[in-house]
Structure formats: structure tokens, C-alpha cells
Chain A
Amino acid sequence: MSSFFIGIVTIAGAFILYQFSKKMYSVKPSPFTMPIFLSTATIVIFLILTGIPYETFMIGGQWIDIFLGPIVVSLAVPLYREIHLIKKYAGAISIGIFAGSLTGVFTGIAGAKLLGFEGWLIQSVAAKSVTAPIAISITDTAGGNVSLAAVFVMIAGVSGAMFGPVILKICRIQHPIAKGLSFGTASHAIGTAKALENSKIEGAISVLSMTISAVIVSFLVPVFLIVM
């Protein structure tokens, strides 16, 4: 089979699966029917059962991957649309993002030490809350395993998008700015996708939070790895 054909089939398959997941989610909304989770889990199970290697899947997957950079660029638009709100609540927003970034780095490193993990694994977990390209460069500088770090980033993203709404309810967090901020700080672009689903304000604050927390975390990780 030519790789062109494999590529087309993979992209079409992933797209149909995604559309189907979206339908499922609208019929029965639950953390486990969330499109990113349902589509990914189905593909992972399919690859395991058929024994198709990830590299073969990525012949098509790489064409989807090239959109990741432009998508980060496109997030400038929701940010721009809600700039007046961000200006109005600048104080609370910056304190919230800083506290969240600090919590992510601290609990990540402290938890890994508590579980008795080796140095390289601690370094790979530390940057998990921020968007993949930044987490990768932070992990690289820190001396961790870059591909494993990308996996942790995805787990932080998907788990936050899946169960974030439950945590927000338990903690009685109702303000849309506080909600969006939590999604962006904890779960980067995947959390932002979830926040955008809820409201435009939530989405915009989430974009802002993932951007600023990425910068903060890149300063915190090297410091905490030395201090702790």
C-alpha cells in the first residue's frame, strides 16, 4: 500500500471517528464521551488489537500535527476579543495564574519525590501543566525524557478537560473568569478547547492563562528542581 493511501485513510478515519465522538458527546455528555478521550482511546485500542505501529498511524497523523502551531497562533483571536475583561480583572487574574503554576510545579515534583522516582522521571513530570512545545523545551533543558514529558502533558490536558468541571463544582467555583483560568493553567490548549465550549469569556481567559503560565512555569521548574 502506498503511504499516500495510508495517509488519506488515517486522516479520513480519524475525522469520521472525531465527528462520531462529538455526536456521542452531545447525546450522552460525560467525561468518557469527550471527543478527545473517546477518539484517542478508540484509536489506541485499535492500534493495539491490529498491531499497527504508531509510525504507520503517523504517516497520516503528521498532516494533522502540522496544524498544531497555527492553532496556537489562532488563539490570539479569542484573547483579542475579550481584552477589555482581562484589563478589568488584571490583578485577580495574575495572582490566580501564578498560584496555579506554582501548585502544578510543586505538587508534580513533590509527588514524584514522595513516590521515590529517579531524577530523570522527576524532571520529566515537572512541566506537565503547560502546552506541549513549551513543556518539551523546559524538559529538555531540565534533563528529562522529552517524549515521556509530552505524554504527561497530554494526560494533564485530557484529565483536566474531562474532570475539571467536577472539581470546579466541588470547590464551588462559579465565576467564568475563575473557571477559564483553571482550565488554561492546569490543562493548556486541551483545557482551553473545553473552556471555549462553555463560553467565549472562559475561552479567552483560558488562552491568557495557558500563555502566561507557560512563561511562569519555564522559570519555576529549574528553580524548584534545584531547591527541592
Chain B
Amino acid sequence: MKYFIMILQISVLFLFNFIGQFIQGYFSLSIPGSLIGMLLLFSLLILKVLPLTWIQSGVDFLLKDIPFFFIPVTVGVVQYLSFFYGKGSLTILLVVISTFFVIGVSGTLTNFLLKKEVKSYE
């Protein structure tokens, strides 16, 4: 029974994804359907139209193992190995360094602003 409910709850997520994709297609938006689905679900939760308990256990089941679902897409790198043998290998370095910059800059700035905010309360 527990698993049946979970499957039903995960189907709800598929439904929201489907609705999101439909909206994206219908209005030919550049925002992906999954994100529209997420914002839709978020709005329904905030407005208390859809109680969290209806989807809770299914969502927590998925969230626990998100990285698993990214394995096939990431394995896609294998198709581009020849690109990365030559000068293309520099792009890996570039992407990694740029990612480190994003972490450093956004984290340091936010950390600083939050500390200031705490101080101004004192």
C-alpha cells in the first residue's frame, strides 16, 4: 500500500511536468515545461489548494536519490570524447574554473550581506 501511494504521488509530478510542457508549447515560451510545472506546483502549495501531504512521501523518495537520475545524461559525455582530446580539453578547464568563480563570488557576497544584516539587528 505504501508503494502504491508513492507511485500515485510520483504520477502527480509527471502530470505537473506534462501540464508545464503543454503550457510551454501552447504559448511557445522559452522557459522549459518542467520549470513551469514546478512553479505551478509551488503556487498550489502556497495557496493551500494542494496539501503537501498529498505528494510528500513520493517527493521525498525521489529527492533522496536525485543524482541517480542524472547518470544517463552525464554519460552522454562519451559521445564527445574525440572533441575533448584536442584543444577542446581546454573547454573543460574553462567550465570548471568559471564554475569555481561563480561559487566564490556569489557565496562570498551573500555571506558578507547576511553578516551585515545580522549585525544591523544587534
Interface positions of A (Cβ within 8 A of B)? 14-15, 18, 34-36, 39-40, 43-44, 47-48, 54, 57-58, 61-62, 64-65, 67-81, 83, 89, 91-93, 95-97, 99-101, 103-104, 107-108, 111-112, 115, 117, 121, 125, 128-129, 131-134, 137-138, 141, 147-148, 150-152, 154-160, 163-164, 167-168, 170-175, 177-179, 181-183, 185-187, 189-190, 192-193, 196, 209, 211, 214-215, 218
Contacts and interface: CB of A to CB of B under 8 A. Distances in A.
Contact of A171 (B74, B91, B107, B114): B107
Interface string B15-36: 0110011000000001111110
Nearest to A186: B102
Of A77, A159, A171, A177, most B-chain CB atoms within 10 Å: A77
A15 B72 CA distance: 11
Interface residues of B, number: 71
A5 B13 CA distance: 27
A65 B72 contact: yes
B81 interface: yes
B97 interface: yes
Main secondary structure of the interface of B (DSSP, over half): helix
Nearest to A11: B72
A72 B72 contact: no
A93 B117 CA distance: 12
Nearest to B58: A74
A126 B93 CA distance: 14
B18 to A, nearest CB: 8
B85 to A, nearest CB: 13
A143 B111 CA distance: 36
A163 B100 contact: yes
B110 A69 contact: no
Contacts of A92: 110, 113-114, 117
B96 A155 contact: yes
Contact of B69 (A71, A100, A112): A71
Contacts of A158: 74
A40 B71 contact: yes
A151 to B, nearest CB: 5
A93 to B, nearest CB: 7
